[in-house]
Structure 1
Amino acid sequence: MVGLPVALVLSGCTSTADAVSPPPATASDSATDSADDQASDLSAFEQQLPLSGEFVSQATATEGTVDIERRSDGSVWVLLDDFHTGDASDLRLYLKEDALVQDADGYWGSAEGGYEIAVIDPDAMAQEIEVPGAWDMPEIRSLTVMDYTPPNFPALGSVALD
């Protein structure tokens, strides 16, 4: 029998004894990291807060102000104040990614769709509405009150949010 030389080749072996650990975080690094982590946990919408604006009329006379705020418990709320609009049986509040713009004829509008937030009371001048899903929303630029009546579903009034 003829012997064949055998060579062992070891590659990719490492020793954990030589591993390098990152330097320990200092107190100021931890505070910065914590603030950065908290900000990164917020949606693009939540990072914009607080937002506010005044209604402009669209399909009917609509007035009032809007404030959107994040409360200490992390919830996000829309506050309507001095709100009133025309006759409508099914008012719904929408947050929209698109800006509110005025066309050459003076009419206000934004793209269709948006995030339906809630049904609102047409007779209540002051209302507080919690925003469901705020933790997952993109940047929001406008708010619209729509009459959810087919076939047109008219926008009664909207707010450009700043």
Structure 2
Amino acid sequence: MGRKKIGIASLTAVLLLTGCTSSTPPGDGPSARPAGSTTAEAAGPSGSPASDASPLSADASPLSAFEQQLPLRGDFLSQQSATTGSVLIERRADGSTWAVLSGFSTGDASDLRLSLEEGALEQDGSGAWVDTAGYSFEIAPLDPDLPDQEIAIPGARTMPAIATLTVMDYGGPGYPSLGSVALTG
């Protein structure tokens, strides 16, 4: 028994001295995927604490390209389903970043996900609204029954400039975009 206790104590000391410490588990930040990809991880339930939702002073680190754009706002445009409402994305005094949806409504989908896109929202040749190339950052699930909701945006401190917010249906084939917002300052 004595050797086992000494071995564990020695291992603990070595790990601490070499800087090996616990880090945020995978999946606690937003997943980044190329636009059009059909695989992404959920960042966590809406409103759940995330690494960027913790209180930090506003000047603790330089602002990301995304944070420098804030506040951003806009109204939903329908894509694969009639979608209405508006969004305000803001950085709060504690340094956290939030998307505030107002009057949000979309079709019958029950597995909704909110994502931020680098690409701009444009109309294609058929007149349909599509987001252009760039990365997509999945933020959180949405409650389809709540017209007004606030969603923490984990990973805001490391995001590039963002042009579009999109609501996707994760229950449908191909994860269709139900509605998007062309974000403006």
- After TM superposition, the score normalised by the length of structure 1 is 0.74
Matched, 1:101 2:139: no
| Residue in 2 that maps onto 1:17 | none
Question: Does residue 1:84 correspond to 2:102, yes or no?
Answer: no
CA distance in 2, matches of 1:50, 1:97: 16
SS in 2 for 1:54: strand
Asked whether the equivalents of residues 122 and 132 of structure 2 are also in contact (C-alpha less than 8 Å), the reply is no
Q: Once the 2 structures are TM-superposed, how far is the Cα of residue 104 of structure 1 from its aligned partner?
A: 2.7
Which residue of structure 1 aligns with residue 167 of structure 2? 145
Where do 1:67-82 residues align within 5 Å? 67-82=88-103
| Partner SS, residue 150 of structure 2 | strand
Q: Secondary structure at the match of 1:88?
A: coil
Counterpart residue type for residue 57 of structure 1: S
Structure 1 or 2, whichever has the larger Rg, is 1
RMSD: 1.6
Distance 1:78 1:160 in 2: 14
Q: Give, in whole Å, the separation in 1 of the partners of 2:70 and 2:88.
A: 9
> Following TM superposition, by how much is the alpha carbon of 1:81 offset from its aligned partner in structure 2, in angstroms?
0.2
- Structure 2: which 5+ residue stretches go unaligned? 1-58
For 2:69, the equivalent position in structure 1 comes to 48
User: Secondary structure of the residue that 1:152 maps to in structure 2?
Assistant: coil
* Counterparts of 1:60 and 1:145, CA distance in 2: 10
Separation in 2, partners of 1:49, 1:101: 21
Aligned to 1:65: 86
With over 3 angstroms needed to count, the CA separation of the structure-2 counterparts of 1:39 and 1:46, relative to structure 1, is farther
Where do 1:103-122 residues align within 5 Å?
103-111=124-132, 114-122=136-144
Check conservation: 1:39, 1:47, Cα contact below 8 A.
Answer: no
Equivalence for 1:126 = 148
Aligned counterparts of 1:48 and 1:118: Cα–Cα separation in 2: 21
Runs of 4+ in 1 over 4 A off after TM superposition: none
TM-score of the aligned structures, taking structure 2 as reference length = 0.65
* Aligned partner letter, 2:109: A
Structure 2 distance, partners of 1:63, 1:124, is: 12
Aligned partner of 2:160: which letter? P
Mapped partners of 2:161, 2:114: distance in 1: 17
The CA distance in 1 between the partners of 2:172 and 2:146, in whole Å, is 23
Q: Percent identity?
A: 61
Aligned residues: 125
